């Protein structure tokens, strides 16, 4: 009898979780529909944020987030971004919205300095609150970059793991697709990248391991990080500088960047 009651409780809990995730997905689809995120540029877009549709906020269905940035300046480094707006300050939601309106993307130039043990700087897609993204299966990104980008899962309890966050590497764009749109005389160049949660791995400096899908279940942000060519695990010195161009057109749940 007790086994039957326990089974009934478990089945009720699973059904409630499934129903909750369905409600979140429905809320997301309703938000996109009501806000008329029309993308007629020919550039693929995912369902979380679409620059070509001039979408202002990052929308998960549970919350509305925004773009931000971080550099190694606070750690004694001298890396910096030069945004498409011409500004070099920390990326704000207002700056990101200006870029999206004018350029259909968030991006600019990155410059990695030599004032820290490893140079690094990040563009961050912040969700606004902790989100259970485990059911997404993974993520997709529409981007352009002249250098590799490391994509991290920033999750709520990352401090407990010494911020050894699961990551996957986005390669430098070598054979981009291109689209001509509007009054821009130059083609918009991009590449679509997709990764399942089980493709993410940790750097390895923490003695605690976390499964990528567990990190995804408490996801706060997606962190696009540029760093020098020396492996972060070696903590080696940095010789010279690395600079280049990048653009983020869209992010989405796995399979939606089309």
User: 61 Cβ partners below 8 Å, 6+ apart?
Assistant: 24, 25, 26, 27, 28, 29, 31
4 lies in the same domain as 89: no
14 lies in the same domain as 108: no
pLDDT given at position 1: 53
Q: Is 220 among the domain residues?
A: yes
Phi/psi of residue 27, each to 5°?
-65, -40
Q: Is 48 among the domain residues?
A: yes
162 lies in the same domain as 185: yes
Q: Is 125 among the domain residues?
A: yes
Q: Is 155 among the domain residues?
A: yes
What is the DSSP pairing of strand 64-71 with strand 149-155? unpaired
Show the tokens assigned to 152.
């991290």
3-class secondary structure per residue, the chain: CHHHHHHHHHHHHHHHHHHHHHHHHHHHHHHHHHCCCCCCCCCCCCCCEEHHHCCCCEECCCCEEEEEEEEHHHHCCCCEEEECCCCCCCCCHHHHHHHHHHHCCEEEEEEECCCCCCCEEEEEEEEEEEECCHHHCEEEEEEEECCCEEEEEEECCHHHHCCCCCEEEECCCCCCEEECCCCCCCCEEEEEEEEEHHHCECCCCCCCCCCHHHHHCCEEEEEEEEECCCCCCCCCCCCCCEEEEEEEEEEEECCCCC
Per-residue pLDDT of the chain (258 residues; tens, 9 = 90+): 544 544 443 344 334 444 534 544 454 455 444 444 688 999 999 999 999 999 999 999 889 999 999 999 888 888 999 999 999 999 999 999 999 999 999 999 999 887 677 788 999 999 999 999 999 999 999 999 999 999 999 999 999 999 999 999 999 999 899 999 888 888 899 999 999 999 999 999 888 999 999 999 999 999 999 987 433 322 333 344 578 999 999 999 999 999
Q: Is 258 among the domain residues?
A: no
Phi/psi of residue 21, each to 5°?
-65, -35
100: left (phi over 0), alpha (psi -120 to 50) or beta: alpha
77 lies in the same domain as 201: yes
8 lies in the same domain as 82: no
231 lies in the same domain as 159: yes
What's the whole-model pTM score? 0.82
What is the DSSP pairing of strand 49-50 with strand 80-83? unpaired
Show the tokens assigned to 142.
């529409």
182 lies in the same domain as 244: yes
13 lies in the same domain as 109: no
Tokens 């966050």 belong to 165
pLDDT given at position 237: 39
23 lies in the same domain as 43: no
59 lies in the same domain as 27: no
The number of distinct structural domains making up the chain is 2
Q: Is 157 among the domain residues?
A: yes
Widest CA span of the chain, in angstroms? 73
56 lies in the same domain as 5: no
Residue 153: CB atoms within 10 Å: 26
145 lies in the same domain as 239: yes
pLDDT given at position 133: 97
pLDDT given at position 15: 47
Q: How many angstroms separate the CA atoms of 46 and 181, rounded? A: 19
- What's the domain range around 25? 1-34
């Amino acid at each position: 009898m007790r086994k039957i009651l326990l089974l009934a409780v478990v089945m009720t809990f699973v059904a409630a979780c499934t129903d909750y995730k369905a409600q979140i997905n429905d809320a997301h689809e309703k938000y996109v529909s009501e806000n008329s995120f029309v993308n007629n540029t020919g550039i693929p877009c995912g369902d979380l944020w679409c620059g070509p549709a001039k979408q202002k906020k990052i929308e998960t269905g549970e919350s509305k987030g925004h773009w931000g940035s971080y550099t190694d300046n606070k750690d004694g480094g001298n890396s910096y971004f030069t945004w498409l707006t011409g500004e070099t300050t920390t990326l704000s939601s207002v700056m990101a919205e200006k870029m999206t309106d004018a350029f259909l993307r968030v991006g600019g130039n990155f410059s990695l300095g030599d004032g820290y043990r490893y140079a690094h700087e990040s563009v961050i897609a912040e969700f606004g609150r902790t989100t259970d993204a485990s059911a997404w299966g993974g993520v997709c990104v529409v981007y352009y970059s002249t250098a590799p980008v490391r994509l991290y899962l920033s999750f709520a309890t990352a401090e407990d793991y010494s911020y050894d966050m699961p990551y996957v590497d986005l390669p430098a764009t070598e054979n981009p697709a291109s689209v001509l749109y509007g009054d821009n005389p130059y083609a918009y160049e991009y590449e679509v990248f997709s990764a399942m949660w089980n493709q993410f791995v940790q750097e390895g400096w923490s003695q605690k391991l976390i499964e990528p899908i567990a990190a995804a279940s408490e996801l706060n942000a997606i962190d696009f990080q540029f760093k020098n060519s020396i492996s972060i695990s070696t903590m080696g010195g940095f010789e010279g500088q690395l600079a280049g161009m990048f653009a983020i057109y869209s992010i989405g749940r796995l399979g939606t960047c089309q």
